[in-house]
Structure 1
Amino acid sequence: MSAHGFPPRWRAETGQPPPPGSRQGEGPMLKRLLTTTAALAALALPGLAAEPEEVLRRAADLTPLGPWSEGDQMGMGNTQGPGTWMRCAAHLAAPGAKLYELSHIRANDMPQSPFGVPLVYEYRPTVGIPGTRHAATYYGGATQAEVKPTPDSPLLKLGMEQAAPIVTSAVLLDAAAHLNGGAPLEPGTLVTAADIEAMLAAQGLGARGIQPGDVVLIHTGWGALWDDAQASQRYYTMGPGLAQDGAELLAGRHAVLVALDNPFTDPVADGQLTGQAMPPQGMDEGLPFVIHHLNLAVNGIHNIQNARLKEIAADGAWTSCAMILPLRSRGASGSPVRAIAIGAPTR
Structure 2
Amino acid sequence: MPATEFSLINHYFARHAQVHDDVVLGIGDDAAVLRVPAGQELVVTTDTMVAGVHFPASATAGDIGHKLLAVNLSDIAAMGAIPRWASLALTLPEVDDEWLEGFCQGLFTLAAEHNVALVGGDTTRGPLTLSITLQGLVPAGQALRRDGANVGDAIYVSGSLGDAGLALQHELGQCTVAEVADLLPKLHRPTPRVELGQALRGLASAAIDISDGLLADLGHILKASHVGTRLELAALPVSAAVQAITRSGDWRLPLAAGDDYELCFTVPPAQETALQAKLAGLALPVSRIGQIEAEAGLRCFDAGGACYTPQATGYEHFAMHTGGKPA
With the shorter chain as reference, the TM-score category is under 0.3
TM-score normalized with structure 2 length: 0.25
Structure showing greater relative contact order (alpha-carbon pairs closer than 8 Å, 6 or more residues apart): 2
